Amino acid sequence: MILEAKNITHFYGNEKALDDVSIFIKTGEFVAIVGKSGSGKSTLISILATLLKPTNANMTLLNHKSEDIKDIDTFRKENIGFIFQFHYLINYLTVYENITLAVDKIDKNEVTELLKYLEIYELKDKYPYEISGGQRQRVAIARALVNKPKIIFADEPTGNLDSQNSDNVFKLLQKIARENGVSIVVTTHDLDLAKKADTIYEMSDGHISNYN
């Protein structure tokens, strides 16, 4: 089990966003968390990704209890990848530069293979404003993969894409999980997309349940 999170509760002021949520994720598993806006799914994924400290939780990630991780920034860099709804690419950097920005030691051959794997090699010298939304999200996926993370968290990664590009992104995430053994945790409001995942959790009003 790559991630075990039990009894997560979180408040924003007096408002309870998560109520005793538990979720378990296996190595290489593609997990979708589906729910409407305001259901708590973005709060949950932020906590699972160690970007937000919960009000209360018992969480173990990669055999480390979350409260025992002393250098959380290094831990994230070495183990976790992130993909967001807004790709946050830097417009004055090329695709290649955006992908390798956070890499301490660049292996050009490995980056080239990654670009080819994601079918964006021919875009490496272009700038984000010169490519399509679907292509920009592939660049964001490459950036998440370049440090060889063990788990990737993707919060509404298709929120700004049309249906065809959304489907392509989910198929790509599915491929990454199956071929590379990387665990993928993705939030979405689209149940049809979520059905491409191995496991679906459904969120409503801060509560979570397995989708049947």
Domains annotated for the chain, with CATH where assigned, are 3-62+71-210 (3.40.50.300)
pLDDT value at position 47? Answer: 92
110 contacts: CB under 8 Å, gap ≥ 6 = none
pLDDT value at position 199? Answer: 94
Mean pLDDT of 29-42: 91
Mean pLDDT of 125-146: 89
Q: pTM for the full model? A: 0.89
pLDDT value at position 183? Answer: 94
Strands 183-188 and 199-204 come out as unpaired
Q: If you average pLDDT over every residue of the chain, what do you get?
A: 89
| CA separation, residue 205 to residues 15, 35, 40, 176 (Å) | 11, 9, 7, 31
Residue 111 pLDDT > 80 = yes
**Sign of the torsion formed by the C-alpha atoms of 172, 177, 181 and 186:** positive
Residue 74 pLDDT > 90 = no
Q: For tokens 């039990």, what's the residue?
A: 6
pLDDT class of 212 with cuts at 50, 70, 90 = low
d(CA 172, CA 132): 17
